[in-house]
Structure 1
Amino acid sequence: MLSAEQREYLQRKAARIRRDIVDMVAPPKVGHLGGAASCAEIVTVLYFYKLRHDPQNPGWPARDRFIMSKGHSALAQYAALAECGYFPREELRRNKELGCILQGHPDMGKTPGIEANTGSLGQGLSIGLGLALAGKLDKAPYRVYVLLGDGELAEGQVWEAAMAAAAYRADNLVAIVDNNKVQATGPIRERMDMGELKKKWEAFGWYVLEVDGHDVGAIALALDAAEEICGQPVVIIARTVKGKGIPFAENNAAYHNASMTAAEYAIACAATEAALRGGET
């Protein structure tokens, strides 16, 4: 269980990441505000609590691997990487500009700390499984974490990878589902209703944990618990809010990928600044 100091530290890091996400989509830029904001706490707990990694040596062989399968939410990962020191914070404002190291989707050839090119949805879990199985063959100590969007679960390749992971007993693989219930065009239940996710993943042979995806303590406990499971891959279903912390964007599909007006940007800045000063994340 996290101490009060650890919890406060992680909450402030999550607030910093959400604040940076807003600035990376400052007018007139267009960006994936909703899905990046919904996973801010998840990404925070991974980078500042769980992952073994070294910003000074991104290729460290024993590092844990993190795959942002829902690559359109890369802004959250970029903010975390900058906060860790993988590259100067000044790069964040230049995202998606010509010649910038931060592309619209993760690019391992341009950005230090990125493990795979993602953004074509459905592929990240397969990549993560490959890395996990390679680690087992090499008797390497690293673990692999893959963050998926709940809309992404409509991709068939996700379930092929899920079946294979269970068949190969990939217990060094952890999937995390950002379960914000809203995809690009509206509520998921009205597009491709996935039913009860816990039962679905269990049917595919995974050990399932469910958490509040905005509670850093609950996320940390789930990630710790995942390390104790032997013989099965683990999936953490994280209940989140699309656009969390940005009043006009919460649960609003219009801000899946959008620009903000100057007035909206001011509102988003004020809300995320308040959280950064110690309010709710």
Structure 2
Amino acid sequence: MLEVHHVSRSFAQRLVLDDISFIVPSGALTGFVGANGAGKTTTMRIIMGLLNASSGHVSLNGSELSGDTRPNFGYMPEERGLYPKQPVIDQLLYLGQLHGITRAESRKRAMDLLARFGLEDRAKSKLESLSLGNQQRVQVAASLLHEPDVLILDEPFSGLDPLAVDAMSSILRDYAARGVPVLFSSHQLDLLDVLVDHLVIIQEGKILANSSADDLRASQASRHRLSLGADAGWLRDEPGVSVIDLSGSQALVNFESEADSQRVLAKALGLGTVSEFAVHRPSLADIYREII
């Protein structure tokens, strides 16, 4: 398990990370989400040792990170770092050898990864000749070439088409299944519900949520969606009912108890048609928006 312990960081007297702590469980896909400037990239750079924390530290399986452990990490930075005028395969072979992998094994791994992204026929192309989305795929392949023990990916889905998103998701799930902690940031909230096992939400340098996806959903499981035959405004005056959203005959509410829900249902039926009365399972994107 990767753990961030009470990390703070300032730039020129401006506090950008304020005593943040969270975990990235082994064998789980952890989404790291927040608005631009919330502190995601700074946190990832501190995890990778590219920036020093003003205070606090990062540990893996209980041991503080050092120069000996980070080479086994896979990292894809926000600023892509490959060489535009060099052939794709040459760069991957070079990076593999930097990690101590033989040239032959580096070639095998590189071609396997390029094949998973549908790029095996572009292995000898210069990087700059590829579309931005395909350059992104190569950058991801570079971060996976040495089969890392931890994955830290800053916006890995940016610029990918739907097929590449599927390929990326499959690769990340494979790594999680091996027990690898995977932390990735993304602005594509629709991916959260179908991909992440754990969610960390950061806003203005503070952690607002750090929990499993199931626990976040369970915390809001008492919500109900109602669709009535007439205006649902009367729900605002009902005891034991908190109205979360209401528009005409549609409402999203929270009941304090099962007795309250049954009482409201009986009243709604007495007033007219009820076409929907069901437990509402909020998406993680909904939960993120509400927390923010």
Task: Calculate the TM-score normalised by the size of structure 2.
Answer: 0.33
Task: Calculate the TM-score normalised by the size of structure 1.
Answer: 0.34
Is the strand fraction higher in 1 or 2? 2
Is the helix fraction higher in 1 or 2? 1
Bigger Rg, structure 1 or 2 = 2
